[in-house]
Amino acid sequence: MSLNRIKYNFHPSQLFTKSMLVGLILVSLFIGGCDEEVSVFEQKVASPIVSSFTPSTGAVGTDLTINGDFLTDVDTVKIGGVLAQIKSRVSKNQLVVNVLPECKSGVVSVHNSTGWIASSESFTMEYIIPTLASFSSTAKVNDVMEIRGTKMYGVFKVYLRQNDGVDVEAKILNRREDELFVEVPYFMGANAKVVLTYLTQSSSQNVISADDFSLTKPTPLVTNKPVEGQVKTTVELAGENLSVIDKVMVGEFQAQIVSRDSQAISFIVPGQFEGSTFHALKLIYYGDQEIAVNTKFRVIRKVEKVYFWEDRTIQCQVDDATDAFFNPKIGYAYSPCEYEANRNDIYFYVVWSGSSSLIQLNNPNNSSSQAKNFKCEGEDLPFEKLPNVVKFRILSATDSTQLALKNKVINKEIVEITDETWAGVPKCASNTPRFFPSATEPQANQFVVGDVLMFQRFDAGEPFETGFIYITNLTIPDFTEDADEGKKAVITFNCYFQK
């Protein structure tokens, strides 16, 4: 049970008796009603204090420890006016950040919802010069290329320089002190120099290889010719050298590539088509080269009596979340900055509790303290419950009726959702099914990959809308050392919803 938060105007120097405090609590209970937390006084966020930091100098990759007070709610740190990476919130008195290549010499600034606070001392950036020892001599487009050397943390960008002097950027996938892994981009010629770019206080500098990198350009081949596909479902192509494919086009629309390797590529048929029509299915590679897979690929759009959304993803309350609040009527996850305009259409979202170490789906009307964990441009969302009352049920594999319904969802056999669809299944009752359970309740409403959850929107205690979520993937970060890592949880699912 919780009390709605009520602010009382009093000075901390005033003393109250036990009877006065009891009276205030009783008034709060009378006025506020119940939800799921207990609090009498609204807690204000204090401005952070930076008293010191160590070390005072360092290069890219250095862990900078900031000491002070009220550092728990810090969401952004800058060094020399450039963003650094928050690595660990040790306590309210200590914060650890990692120095990124773009950081510059200057003051250390921290930010929370009250604003920015800067250190009195400056951090001095030490610029390190990487060396290039060796690299993969040849690779295909989109392959992973290994580059070895020293001081690789100092590398800001990696380019392949063509014979005409034009640089093509290679995406850095991972880095260690003595090696980098990059994704090989397409470029026009056959050979290129490897260029490592590093930063100084005022400019960028390059380390350029003496030897050439050779780009092999095998021709992709498709061995199957699918004749049709339903919108918003996955189609797979088989063949050879398919990892070089950059785009899949169905008519004028680009399809989302789900997976891609040398022997197979799968994509989702775009949903913009109206009715069942024929379109050219083609693959784009090496910039503008094409493979015509089927000039008369039939796009099927059935007369739908149900909403169906495949391969949808929602994120937990990580600060840069873009897909957070799910609307099953349009298959879209609103960002925190879209929250206010769409709050009436939110059916569920993912939350993380560091205190109890659990990740769970959330009923929007369950608690007033959940939406505020998300941020729009650094600002907390409102402390409020949302209008929709949505509850969940994990369909049981030991109950024959629930198992039959579960299999229909998994096999995409749901064509309409009515009360008859879930006849024999108890109505939903859980506010917060978990995909990482608490340590104290390891089996409390826990679901895993492969489970199907029924969810229902309620009015006056009775369900009037029903949907199903088939869990296809769960990303559960390691938060054993840093509790805030739990905010990076992600859930991927297919969704049916009543039309």
Q: What is the pLDDT of residues 468-478, one digit of tens each?
A: 999 999 998 88
Confidence of residue 300 (pLDDT cuts 50, 70, 90): confident
Per-residue pLDDT reduced to its tens digit, 128-171? 889 999 999 999 888 899 999 999 988 989 999 998 899 999 99
What domains can you pick out in the chain, each with its CATH number? Answer: 1-43 (no CATH), 49-125 (2.60.40.10), 131-216 (2.60.40.10), 221-300 (2.60.40.10), 307-498 (no CATH)
* Between 201 and 443, the higher pLDDT residue: 201
Mean pLDDT of the chain: 87
Per-residue pLDDT reduced to its tens digit, 340-393? 999 999 999 999 887 778 899 999 999 888 899 899 988 889 999 999 999 999
Per-residue pLDDT reduced to its tens digit, 309-350? 999 999 999 888 899 999 999 999 999 999 999 999 999 999
For residue 348, the tally of other CB atoms under 10 A from its CB is 25
Residue 14 has pLDDT above 60, yes or no: no
Query: What is the predicted pLDDT for the residue at 130?
Result: 92
Query: What is the predicted pLDDT for the residue at 303?
Result: 62
Q: Are 448 and 379 in contact, with CB atoms under 8 Å apart?
A: no
Per-residue pLDDT reduced to its tens digit, 190-244? 899 999 999 887 888 999 999 999 999 999 999 998 999 988 889 999 999 999 9
Name the token pair of 9.
């105007």
Query: What is the predicted pLDDT for the residue at 305?
Result: 85
Query: What is the predicted pLDDT for the residue at 206?
Result: 94
CA dihedral 343, 349, 353, 358 (to 10 degrees): 160
